[in-house]
């Protein structure tokens, strides 16, 4: 749709709200009337030409057939659509026969609405239109609103018309109606100071997506074929894809058999989409309302093509109860099978964080792909995402698992970066993901990244956040870059700034990495000091409030009745000091056991202090000495504690009175004696030679086949990301080391000799960084250039000052 026509139509509809509803609704509620009336008028105009045929069919069924209930099919045939209206009214006739009696008009309008087929009644229900009609009738503005919508100066039909002044009014296509609908929502929400809602997809983006999906297989398109959009909104993506196929790839023997499917959670946009499906002649029953994530509406269906612009940055917390049971994923759509570092496969979660569900929609589409055995071509998907889908989530997270699954199963075909400010309701960077489970031979094992962020033309007037668009030439250029599947170097303009399109092709493994922990030994000193013993009295998570109560009330806190009596005072003190206590923390604070355990820890530590007084630099010896004393004093001090739980008190005390010191001895975890079979098993597991065991935390002792392992320091632990394709720094070096081991030898060992690899911590992750792959360095300007600019600005400023003051400044 031409942007000027689009703006003119939106302005006309907006004026209806201002002219008729100003004194009846607050501005934020205008949408409740205007949006359904736009749809109603659109349907009404289509049924006007066949009104008499439908009424004749109603008369025939009632009088000739003695029908108690009307037969749908003949009525649909008579109307020419999959919907109809059996009342004698149209919006024009309602307007033309209206009197000053608003109650008569209301009765006629309600009769008109009740005359619609059930599929239209569902749309009316979604819009809650009947209650709005009654409210307008009560306020005497119903007739005025109807008059505006049947005005000859507005065209909501899919055919071109002329207004009374002879001016042409273009047809309103299904996609054009989507534009109008989205712009109205944006304007209404701005007036109501609300967010702009879901991202409506501009026509040129849809056109690009359809080219990318259909052009590579234009000679092999199946007939019939199915298209699915799990977040279909007003249906623009579906109907535009249908139009594209019918126009670009016609079949010799007539119209291609295309079936459209979709689901939409918003009642208003669902109503728009369903009305468009009916008007277009598609099956409206294939459009469902509700949450795609909560309910797998098309569980048994598989689709040839899927195109979607799912909501991004939107929470799916309300759907979690349908997807997760506690921390476990229970919906198979959001589970994948992946192998760990050693090749052992397991079913893992493929669900992103609850604050952003866009990748769930992608997995919904992936679950609906036909295998090449089911459909000759398999399935192809184009989905719009923001940048978080590329890199959010660490190795092993749901987001990373999704990327890993798609790439390792060779389904990610290409990603296209789009310009900023291309969409109406967001200015952020967006990307088109292309998924294909039947890649041609030359693209297998590869992923193409196309940076089209600099390829756009500016709009003369912004449409919301949208200030640019793709031209047909841009779409052709991006499509051709994808079809060629080759690298393209970006060009530069006269100022050495990058311009145009860039493309790079990567191996699948280039995006993967191992996330592994590099450990360093803990070194601890220890001594029973009063300042270290005192905090043992208090639970760490409740220290502030417990310390206050003890200092305020002393040993009274060890009386259960005291804690209960002071409960309200304790809660009030916490509130005054901005300390938040949830139910679990509150219960723990008021539990006598919490206080008694702390008292016992202090008593035990003080008992140790009587005989162990010096400072230790060897924590291993310190624990041995404390262990001896513990065996003698524990039965008395911890007499009320079960023997199996006493060790925990010992551990809490020795940890509390020790601290890290790099000059101290390493803390030994254990000493292991490895027989040859166990040694061979360990070497195979680690993938190293016996001489390299220290690199994995097994340090040889003075005894044969005996190794020392050390306690790792959590504060010194580093997590390293090792590329799956990492190789030795020295390209000429032949090595059988794994990528992780080689990285450790190159990047860690030279700097921290006592570090080791914790191979059990390894997770595999995948991320994609357009900035890293397409970054182009631009040299800074020289000092001379900067200085010349500063001098020029100073001279300009002097000239302005002299002009303002009316004086001539002395020349230097």
Q: For the residues of 717-728, what is the DSSP string, one character each?
A: -EEEEEETT---
Give the pLDDT band (50/70/90) at residue 689: very high
pLDDT in tens, 354-411: 889 999 999 999 999 999 877 678 999 999 999 999 999 999 999 999 999 999 999 9
Integer Cα distance of 469 and 324 in angstroms: 40
Q: Domain map of the chain by residue range?
A: 3-172, 203-313+351-511, 524-660, 666-711, 780-805
Least confident of 233-237, 322-326, 439-443, 525-529: 233-237
pLDDT in tens, 600-637: 999 999 999 999 999 999 999 999 999 999 999 999 99
pLDDT in tens, 109-143: 999 999 999 999 999 999 899 999 999 999 999 99
Is the per-residue pLDDT at 574 higher than 50?
Answer: yes
Integer Cα distance of 92 and 742 in angstroms: 80
Rounded to 5°, the CA angle 492-495-500 comes to 25
Integer Cα distance of 662 and 525 in angstroms: 9
Backbone angles phi, psi at 418, to 5 degrees: -100, 160
Q: What CATH fold (topology level) applies to the domain 203-313+351-511?
A: Rossmann fold (3.40.50)
Are 122 and 72 in contact, with CB atoms under 8 Å apart?
no
User: What pLDDT sits at residue 734?
Assistant: 62
User: What pLDDT sits at residue 198?
Assistant: 47
Number of Cβ within a 10 Å radius of residue 158: 17
What are the CA-CA distances from residue 230 to residues 199, 204, 378, 415 (Å)?
A: 14, 20, 18, 20
Choice between 664 and 792, residue whose per-residue pLDDT is larger? 664
The mean of the pLDDT values for the chain is 89
DSSP strand pairing (756-766 vs 512-519): antiparallel
CA distance between the termini of the chain:
61
Q: What is the CA radius of gyration of the chain?
A: 36
Is the per-residue pLDDT at 426 higher than 70?
Answer: yes
pLDDT in tens, 738-781: 999 999 999 999 999 999 999 999 999 999 999 888 877 667 77
Least confident of 205-209, 372-376, 449-453, 716-720: 372-376
Give the pLDDT band (50/70/90) at residue 51: very high
Choice between 424 and 598, residue whose per-residue pLDDT is larger? 598
What are the CA-CA distances from residue 639 to residues 604, 636, 645, 758, 775 (Å)?
A: 12, 5, 11, 40, 68
User: What pLDDT sits at residue 194?
Assistant: 45
User: What pLDDT sits at residue 90?
Assistant: 95
Are 214 and 50 in contact, with CB atoms under 8 Å apart?
no
DSSP class of 463: E
Is the per-residue pLDDT at 69 higher than 80?
Answer: yes
Helix (H, G, I), strand (E, B) or coil at 384: strand
């Amino acid at each position: 749709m031409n942007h000027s026509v689009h703006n003119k139509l939106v302005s006309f509809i907006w004026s209806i709200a201002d002219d008729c509803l100003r004194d009846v609704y607050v501005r934020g509620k205008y949408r409740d009337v205007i949006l359904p009336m736009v749809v109603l008028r659109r349907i009404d105009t289509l049924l006007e030409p066949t009104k008499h045929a439908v009424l004749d069919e109603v008369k025939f069924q009632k009088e000739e057939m003695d029908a108690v209930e009307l037969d749908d099919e003949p009525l649909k045939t008579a109307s020419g659509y999959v919907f109809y209206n059996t009342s004698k009214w149209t919006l024009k006739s309602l307007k033309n026969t209206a009197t000053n009696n608003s109650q008569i008009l209301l009765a006629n309008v309600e009769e008109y609405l009740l005359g619609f087929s059930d599929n239209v009644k569902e749309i009316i229900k979604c819009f809650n239109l009947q209650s709005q009609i009654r409210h307008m009738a009560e306020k005497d503005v119903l007739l005025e609103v109807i008059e505006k919508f049947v005005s000859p100066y507005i065209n909501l039909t899919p055919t071109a018309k002329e207004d009374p002044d002879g001016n042409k009014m273009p047809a309103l296509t299904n996609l054009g109606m989507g534009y109008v609908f989205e712009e109205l929502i944006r304007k209404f929400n701005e007036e109501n100071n609300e967010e702009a809602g879901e991202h409506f997809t501009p026509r040129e983006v849809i056109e690009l997506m359809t080219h990318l999906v259909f052009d590579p297989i234009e000679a092999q398109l199946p007939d019939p074929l199915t298209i699915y959009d799990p977040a279909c909104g007003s249906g623009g993506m579906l109907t535009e894809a249908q139009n594209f196929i019918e126009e670009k790839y016609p079949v010799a023997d007539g119209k291609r058999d295309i079936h459209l499917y979709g689901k939409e959670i918003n009642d208003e946009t669902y109503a728009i989409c369903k009305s468009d499906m009916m008007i277009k002649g598609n099956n409206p029953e294939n459009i469902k309302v509700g949450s795609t994530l909560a309910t797998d509406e098309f569980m048994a269906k598989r689709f040839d093509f899927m195109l979607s612009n799912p909501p991004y940055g939107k929470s799916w917390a309300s759907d979690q109860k349908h997807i997760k049971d506690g921390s476990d994923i229970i919906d198979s759509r959001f589970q994948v099978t992946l192998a760990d570092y050693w090749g052992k496969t397991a079913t893992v979660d493929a669900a992103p964080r609850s604050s952003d569900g866009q990748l769930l929609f992608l997995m919904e589409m992936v679950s609906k792909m036909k295998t090449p055995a089911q459909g000759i071509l398999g399935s192809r998907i184009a989905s719009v995402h923001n940048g978080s889908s590329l890199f959010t989530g660490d190795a092993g997270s749901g987001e990373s698992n999704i990327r890993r699954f798609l790439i390792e199963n060779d389904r990610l075909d290409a990603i296209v970066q789009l310009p900023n400010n291309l969409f109406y309701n967001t200015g952020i960077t967006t990307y088109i993901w292309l998924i294909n489970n039947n890649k041609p031979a030359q693209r297998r094992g590869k992923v193409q990244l196309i940076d089209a962020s600099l390829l756009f033309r500016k709009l003369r007037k912004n449409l919301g956040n949208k200030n640019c668009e793709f031209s047909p030439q841009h779409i052709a250029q991006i499509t051709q870059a994808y079809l060629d599947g080759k690298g393209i170097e970006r060009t530069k303009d006269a100022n050495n700034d990058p311009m145009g399109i860039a493309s790079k092709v990567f191996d699948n493994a280039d995006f993967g990495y191992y996330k592994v922990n590099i450990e360093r030994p803990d070194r601890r000193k220890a001594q029973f000091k009063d300042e270290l013993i005192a905090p043992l009295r208090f639970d760490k998570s409740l220290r502030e409030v417990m310390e206050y109560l003890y200092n305020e009330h002393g040993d009274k806190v060890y009386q259960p009745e005291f804690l209960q009596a002071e409960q309200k005072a304790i809660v009030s003190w916490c509130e005054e000091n901005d300390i938040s206590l949830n139910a679990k923390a509150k219960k723990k604070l008021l539990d006598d056991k919490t206080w008694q355990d702390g008292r016992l820890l202090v008593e035990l530590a003080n008992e140790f202090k009587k005989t162990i007084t010096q400072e230790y630099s060897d924590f291993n010896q310190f624990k041995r000495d404390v262990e001896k004393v513990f065996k003698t004093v524990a039965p008395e001090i911890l007499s009320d504690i079960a023997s199996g739980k006493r060790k925990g008190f010992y551990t809490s005390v020795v940890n509390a009175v020790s601290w890290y010191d790099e000059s101290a001895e390493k803390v030994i975890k254990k000493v292991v004696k490895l027989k040859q079979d166990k040694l061979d098993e360990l070497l195979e597991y680690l993938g190293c030679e016996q001489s390299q065991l220290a690199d994995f935390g097994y340090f040889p002792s003075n005894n044969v086949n005996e190794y020392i392992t050390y306690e790792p320091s959590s504060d010194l632990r580093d997590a390293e990301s090792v590329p799956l394709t990492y190789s030795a720094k020295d390209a000429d070096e032949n090595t059988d080391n794994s990528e992780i081991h080689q990285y450790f030898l190159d990047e860690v060992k030279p700097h921290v000799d006592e570090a080791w690899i914790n191979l059990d911590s390894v997770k595999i992750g995948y991320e994609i960084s357009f900035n890293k792959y397409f970054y182009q360095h631009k040299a800074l300007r020289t000092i001379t250039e900067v200085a010349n600019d500063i001098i020029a600005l100073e001279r300009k400023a002097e000239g302005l000052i002299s002009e303002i003051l009316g004086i001539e400044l002395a020349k230097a």
